[in-house]
């Protein structure tokens, strides 16, 4: 008797043969056109972030792109983001790798006035056997492996947005972020998931060390990151205008080149915690900017300003160390001014060092003090 090769394979416990792929044809006449749904549309006809698509927020370190992710999550959680979700507070999933939730992300969400009941930390629960015992743990979501359970959770919790910071860290260990084919295989399932769930999907991305003035070309990794995103927002610090700038460098579903750049600032904000004050940055948009991210990238780097911040940070570290770890704010500002350090420069140095602030004393002797964090030297 002749046995079919497929049956023989199954009987022998061999892997099942691949299912044949077939071409599926759908005439355009069977499709129904739909308008673009804008998750962020500051003004009618000026949509910036589409729902149901991948958007990138990209920039160099310290330009506020992660603070923008926090701002976005907070506005969505309150129903305050102009666009399709306006007036309807919605849940947000936030997956982050580089920042601590208790010390950084949670205080930032509080500073941004987010509804903490609606913002969810996203991790993946893992299990493994070790010495005969079942060990459980947590890790970052991995793309595309976790797309199935992630989509199920988005549907179950009626999520309006998934924010991933940084996006590159979610790629599997076997994925080469600089190979277009690898990146596409990892991110295309995410793009399709966004389309099915209609969730705003924001990925935080870093700039490389290049000198190009094309912000989209500076995004670290393969060009597939930029190609798969339907919108790209670039962030930069403009030394000439002493402000920070956000420019729409890609908007495949709407306007881009004629959308004005927006100015913003990152303000220091004190958040009370059971262990003292946490000082974090809070993003605030201040209006239209006359310059763009491209203008900023084309401008020479102000080495004097960078040097001033570095010197102020070293001065503040030494001052607080000599004072036993903390000092009254009024004394700090007075002595810094005496040594030629501006108050604003000192506040920037404070954020950089992770210096916290809290009130000390009682009654009329109550005053604000700055404290050098004991975790300052942690990696």
pLDDT in tens, 258-285: 899 999 998 888 899 998 888 888 999 9
Contact (CB, 8 A) for 368 and 359:
yes
Whether omega before 284 lies within 30 degrees of 0, making that bond cis, reads no
Query: Within 13 Å of residue 175, how many CA atoms lie on the same side as its CB?
Result: 22
Share of the chain above pLDDT 90, in %: 51
Is residue 72 predicted with pLDDT exceeding 60?
A: yes
C-alpha span between 351 and 367 (Å, rounded): 20
Of the two residues 238 and 205, the one the predictor is more confident about is: 205
pLDDT on residue 324: 76
Q: What is the mean pLDDT of residues 100-121?
A: 95
Is residue 75 predicted with pLDDT exceeding 90?
A: yes
C-alpha span between 358 and 263 (Å, rounded): 30
Residue 100 makes CB contacts below 8 A (sequence gap 6+) with: none
pLDDT on residue 15: 61
State the distance between the two ends of the chain, measured CA to CA, in whole angstroms.
Answer: 69
Instruction: Tell me whether strands 49-50 and 38-40 are parallel, antiparallel or unpaired.
Output: antiparallel
Q: Is 300 exposed, middle or buried (0-12, 13-18, 19+ CB in 10 A)?
A: exposed
pLDDT on residue 368: 80
pLDDT in tens, 152-200: 999 999 999 999 999 999 998 889 999 999 999 999 999 999 999 999 9
Contact (CB, 8 A) for 142 and 172:
yes
Is residue 7 predicted with pLDDT exceeding 50?
A: no
pLDDT on residue 56: 97
Of the two residues 45 and 358, the one the predictor is more confident about is: 45
Inter-axis angle of helices 180-197 and 147-156, nearest 10? 20
Lowest mean pLDDT among 101-110, 129-138, 346-355: 346-355
pLDDT on residue 20: 86
**CATH 3.30.110 holds for 303-371:** no
> Can you give the chain as a three-state secondary structure string?
CCCCHHHHHHHCCCCCCCCCCCCCCCCHHHCCCCCCCEEECCCCCCCCEECCCEEEEEECCCCCHHHHHHHHHHHHHHCCCCCCCCCCCCEEEEEECCCCHHHHHHHHHHHCCCCCCCEEECCEEEEEEECCEEEEEEECCCECCCHHHHHHHHHHCCEEEEEEECHHHHECCCCCCCCHHHHHHHHHHHHHHHHHHCCEEEEEEEECCCCCCCHHHHECCCCHHHHHCCEEEEEEEECCCCEEEEEEEEECCCCCCCCCCEEEEEEEEEEEECCEEEEEEEEEEEEECCCCHHHHHHCCCCHHHHHHHHHHHHHHHHHHHHCCCEEEHHHHHHHHHHCCCCHHHHHHHHHHHCCEEEEECCHHHCEEEEECCCCCCCC
Residue with tokens 């992630």: 150
The CA radius of gyration of the chain, in Å to the nearest whole number, is: 25
Is residue 236 predicted with pLDDT exceeding 60?
A: yes
Is residue 340 predicted with pLDDT exceeding 90?
A: no
Distances from the Cα of 278 to the Cα of 39, 316, 362, angstroms: 31, 17, 21
Q: What are the sequence ranges of the domains in the chain?
A: 38-294, 303-371
pLDDT band at 352 (very low <50, low <70, confident <90, very high): low
pLDDT on residue 226: 94
pLDDT on residue 318: 82
pLDDT band at 354 (very low <50, low <70, confident <90, very high): low
pLDDT on residue 61: 84
Query: Within 13 Å of residue 229, how many CA atoms lie on the same side as its CB?
Result: 27
pTM, to two decimals: 0.75
38-294 CATH? 3.40.50.300
Is residue 377 predicted with pLDDT exceeding 60?
A: no
Is residue 251 predicted with pLDDT exceeding 90?
A: yes
- 172 CA to centre of own chain: 19
pLDDT on residue 99: 84
Longest dimension (CA), the chain: 101
pLDDT in tens, 91-104: 999 999 878 899 89
pLDDT on residue 2: 47
Beta-bridge partner residues of 270: 279
pLDDT band at 361 (very low <50, low <70, confident <90, very high): low
pLDDT band at 19 (very low <50, low <70, confident <90, very high): confident
C-alpha span between 312 and 314 (Å, rounded): 5
pLDDT in tens, 301-329: 555 555 677 788 888 888 888 777 788 88
pLDDT band at 376 (very low <50, low <70, confident <90, very high): very low
Of the two residues 82 and 299, the one the predictor is more confident about is: 82
- Take residue 332 and report the two structure tokens written for it: 């700090």
């Amino acid at each position: 008797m002749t046995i079919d090769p497929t049956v023989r394979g199954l009987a022998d416990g061999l892997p099942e043969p691949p299912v044949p792929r077939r071409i599926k044809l759908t005439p355009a006449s069977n499709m129904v056109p739909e308008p673009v749904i804008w998750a962020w549309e500051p003004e009618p006809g000026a949509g910036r972030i589409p729902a149901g698509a991948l958007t990138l927020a990209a920039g160099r370190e310290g330009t506020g792109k992660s603070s923008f992710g926090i701002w976005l999550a907070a506005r969505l959680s309150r129903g305050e983001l102009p666009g399709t979700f306006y007036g309807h507070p919605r849940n947000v999933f936030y997956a982050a790798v580089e920042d601590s939730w208790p010390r950084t992300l949670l205080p930032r969400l509080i500073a941004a006035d987010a509804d903490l009941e609606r913002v969810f930390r996203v991790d993946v629960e893992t299990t493994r056997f070790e010495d005969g015992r079942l060990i459980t743990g947590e890790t970052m979501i991995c793309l595309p492996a976790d797309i199935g359970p992630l989509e199920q959770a988005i549907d179950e919790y009626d999520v309006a947005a998934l924010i991933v910071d940084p996006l590159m860290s979610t790629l599997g260990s076997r994925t080469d972020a600089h190979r277009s084919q690898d990146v596409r295989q990892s991110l295309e399932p995410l793009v399709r998931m966004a389309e099915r769930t209609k969730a705003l999907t924001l990925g935080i991305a870093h700039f490389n060390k290049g000198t190009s003035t094309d912000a989209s070309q500076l995004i670290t990794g393969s060009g597939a990151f930029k190609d798969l995103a339907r919108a790209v927002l670039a962030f930069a610090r403009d030394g000439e205008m002493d402000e920070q700038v956000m420019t729409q460098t890609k908007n495949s579903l709407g306007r881009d080149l004629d959308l004005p750049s927006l100015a913003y600032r990152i303000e220091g904000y004190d958040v009370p915690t059971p262990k003292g004050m946490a000082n974090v940055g809070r993003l605030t948009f201040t209006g239209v900017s006359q310059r763009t991210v491209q203008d900023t990238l084309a401008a020479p780097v102000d080495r004097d300003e960078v040097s001033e911040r570095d010197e102020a940070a070293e001065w503040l570290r030494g001052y607080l160390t000599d004072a036993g770890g903390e000092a009254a704010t009024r004394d700090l500002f007075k002595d810094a001014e005496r040594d030629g350090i501006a108050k604003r420069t000192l506040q920037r140095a404070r954020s950089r060092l992770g210096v916290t602030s809290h009130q000390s004393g009682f009654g009329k002797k109550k005053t604000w003090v700055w404290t050098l964090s004991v975790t300052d030297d942690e990696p």
